[in-house]
């Protein structure tokens, strides 16, 4: 059973049936409340209201859907027949559609109000949807008449014990009468260049605290799905104490640089340009955890799973057998448009479900480029790492730097991911003696001693090896333009 098909809540709240929305609302709608859903045409208001009705009807409630639009009910139903939540068996007992268009035209707001009261009573409805509130506003003789209409609807909701949603295209601040209702939900679509995305914001809500700010949502064949903003729901508690348990990469020459190992539950960041070895380093961390009996997760944005497994195998890292037995899960997200909170939900859901102890996210750069909300990345990363720490997962993130080599280092040490991560590794290409080599340096490791010496990082079919320090002085290694009079490794 999907999350949108769960039974309606039987406690003090009315479940919307929209995944993620009840969490934003602090548990759902308050019974007998009157709510306004605001959004431009196409924002998803009608879909949200119908999704709520069918969810409640499936649990035994009766819902009344009143339209003030010229569009026929047949056309509305035809547009919904392919939605997963739609069930024709619930018509007309569970969900009953009524047109109030002609009543409003002929009798105005008093006639409409009487229609609503009568139909709620006749059908014993606990949910009332009024689709087209802007038409009622236009039919009001004065602002006072419209205010009186909303007030009397609230009184009726309290007496007859029904919860009401009124849908309108007017903005949440367009009418002062909106301050009378119990809650205002705004749906909107934003555009930047050729890209667009959907957002939901709770402008007002009586009865409980809600998750503040803007939350992304999407519309699929399943209906609306809301993804509460990670920063608004992050746990503000200290992560569990990992004790004395330490984490290693399973590469003897690398682990020897910090014999104490990484703290379990810590966050590490490996930076470097394309092709320098970040994926291999992360794969090694997971492979060692799998050998230790831990469950692991790989989230990638570049290579699809089959190419990733072959790439790891070419360096002597066998991950396929662990995928086959379920101990390793690979989540692949092509580097296209994405919603940050969808990615966080995928990652954290898997970590919690399988009690994952090691995570490698290969592609913070792809994540940043795929979202229009790049200004969020610093706070999003901080919230994500906090949640992973609270789950006791040791995490390594790969972050791509734009330059293969050169005198400029693109390492943001004072802000964003680099400032949040406890451990920071840097991989760099270097040209030395006519050959392009990989260079490893450790910028910081928290709570453990480490060797800061610059080392060559070698990837071959036999595996990964970190070579001893250079035997002679080599200038400007980190710039990628190294030079020395001659020599090699000791």
Tell me the pLDDT tens digit for each residue of 51-64: 999 999 999 999 99
Assess if residue 153 is contained within a domain.
yes
Determine the pLDDT at residue 70.
63
Which of 161, 194, 229 delimits the end of a domain?
229
Lowest mean pLDDT among 311-315, 416-420, 449-453, 480-484: 480-484
> Which is higher by pLDDT, 319 or 415?
319
Q: What is the pLDDT of residues 335-344, one digit of tens each?
A: 777 888 999 9
Determine the pLDDT at residue 10.
41
Is the per-residue pLDDT at 383 higher than 80? yes
Assess if residue 238 is contained within a domain.
no
Q: Are residues 75 and 147 both part of a single domain?
A: yes
Instruction: Give the domain extent around 110.
Output: 3-229
- The Cα 227–Cα 370 span in angstroms is 17
Assess if residue 446 is contained within a domain.
yes
Q: Are residues 213 and 344 both part of a single domain?
A: no
> Which is higher by pLDDT, 73 or 445?
445
Q: pTM score, two decimals?
A: 0.85
Helix or strand or coil: residue 6?
A: coil
Determine the pLDDT at residue 483.
52
Q: Are residues 182 and 267 both part of a single domain?
A: no
Assess if residue 484 is contained within a domain.
no
Assess if residue 486 is contained within a domain.
no
Q: Are residues 194 and 287 both part of a single domain?
A: no
Q: Are residues 258 and 396 both part of a single domain?
A: yes
- The Cα 359–Cα 476 span in angstroms is 34
Determine the pLDDT at residue 2.
39
Assess if residue 474 is contained within a domain.
yes
Both tokens of 317, joined, read: 């890292």
Q: Cβ contacts of residue 49 below 8 Å, gap of 6+?
A: 37, 65, 129, 131, 165, 167
Determine the pLDDT at residue 306.
95
Q: Are residues 208 and 254 both part of a single domain?
A: no
Determine the pLDDT at residue 244.
78
What mean pLDDT comes out for the span 168-188?
A: 84
Q: Are residues 270 and 218 both part of a single domain?
A: no
Q: Are residues 346 and 220 both part of a single domain?
A: no
Q: Are residues 184 and 291 both part of a single domain?
A: no
Task: Count the domains in the chain.
Answer: 2
Q: What is the pLDDT of residues 288-302, one digit of tens each?
A: 999 999 999 999 998
- The Cα 61–Cα 341 span in angstroms is 32
Contact 466, 451 (CB under 8 A): no
Confidence band (pLDDT; 50, 70, 90) for 148?
very high
Q: What is the pLDDT of residues 271-283, one digit of tens each?
A: 999 889 999 999 9
Lowest mean pLDDT among 231-240, 302-311, 412-421, 451-460: 412-421
Assess if residue 464 is contained within a domain.
yes
Write the CATH number for 12: 3.40.50.300
Parallel, antiparallel or unpaired: strands 127-131 and 63-67:
parallel
When the pLDDT of each residue in the chain is averaged and rounded to a whole number, the result is: 88
């Amino acid at each position: 059973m999907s999350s949108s098909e769960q039974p309606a809540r039987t406690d003090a709240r009315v479940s919307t049936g929209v995944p993620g929305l009840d969490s934003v609302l602090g548990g759902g709608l308050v019974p007998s409340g009157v709510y306004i859903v605001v959004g431009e045409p196409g924002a998803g208001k009608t879909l949200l209201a119908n999704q709520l009705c069918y969810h409640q009807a499936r649990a035994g409630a009766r819902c009344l859907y009143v339209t003030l639009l010229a569009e026929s009910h047949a056309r509305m139903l035809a547009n919904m027949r392919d939605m997963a939540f739609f069930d024709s068996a619930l018509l007309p007992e569970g969900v009953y559609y009524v047109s109030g268009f002609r009543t409003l035209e002929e009798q105005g707001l008093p006639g409409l109000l009487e229609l609503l009261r009568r139909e709620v009573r006749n059908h014993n409805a606990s949910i009332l949807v009024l689709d087209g509130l802007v038409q009622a506003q236009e039919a009001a003789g004065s602002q006072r008449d419209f205010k009186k209409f909303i007030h009397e609807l609230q009184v009726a909701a309290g007496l007859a014990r029904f919860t009401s949603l009124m849908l309108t295209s007017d903005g949440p601040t367009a009418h002062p009468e909106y301050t009378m209702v119990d809650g205002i939900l705004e749906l909107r679509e934003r555009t930047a260049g050729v890209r667009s995305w959907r957002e939901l914001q709770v402008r007002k809500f009586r009865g409980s605290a809600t998750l503040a700010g803007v939350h992304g949502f999407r519309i699929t064949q399943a209906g609306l799905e809301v993804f509460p903003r990670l920063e608004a729901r992050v746990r503000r508690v200290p992560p569990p104490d990992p004790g004395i348990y330490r984490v290693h990469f399973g590469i003897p020459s690398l682990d020897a640089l910090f014999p104490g190992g990484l703290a379990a539950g810590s966050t590490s960041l490996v930076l470097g340009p394309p092709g320098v070895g970040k994926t291999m380093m992360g794969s090694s961390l997971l492979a060692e955890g799998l050998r230790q009996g831990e469950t692991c997760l790989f989230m990638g944005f570049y290579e699809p799973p089959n190419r990733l497994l072959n790439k790891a195998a070419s360096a002597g890292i066998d991950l396929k057998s662990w995928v086959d037995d379920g101990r390793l899960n690979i989540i692949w997200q092509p580097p296209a448009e994405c919603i940050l909170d969808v990615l966080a939900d995928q990652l954290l859901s898997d970590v919690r479900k399988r009690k994952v102890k090691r995570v490698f996210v290969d592609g913070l750069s792809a994540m940043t480029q795929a979202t229009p909300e790049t200004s969020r990345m610093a706070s999003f990363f901080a919230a994500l790492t906090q949640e992973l720490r609270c789950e006791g997962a040791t995490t390594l993130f790969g972050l791509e730097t734009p330059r293969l080599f050169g005198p400029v280092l693109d390492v943001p040490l004072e802000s964003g991911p680099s400032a949040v991560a406890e451990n920071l590794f840097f991989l760099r290409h270097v040209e030395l003696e006519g050959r392009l080599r990989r260079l490893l340096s450790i910028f910081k490791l928290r709570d453990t001693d480490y060797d800061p010496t610059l080392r060559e990082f070698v990837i071959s079919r036999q595996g990964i090896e970190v070579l001893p320090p250079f035997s002679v002085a080599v200038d400007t290694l980190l710039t990628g333009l190294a030079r020395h009079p001659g020599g090699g490794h000791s």
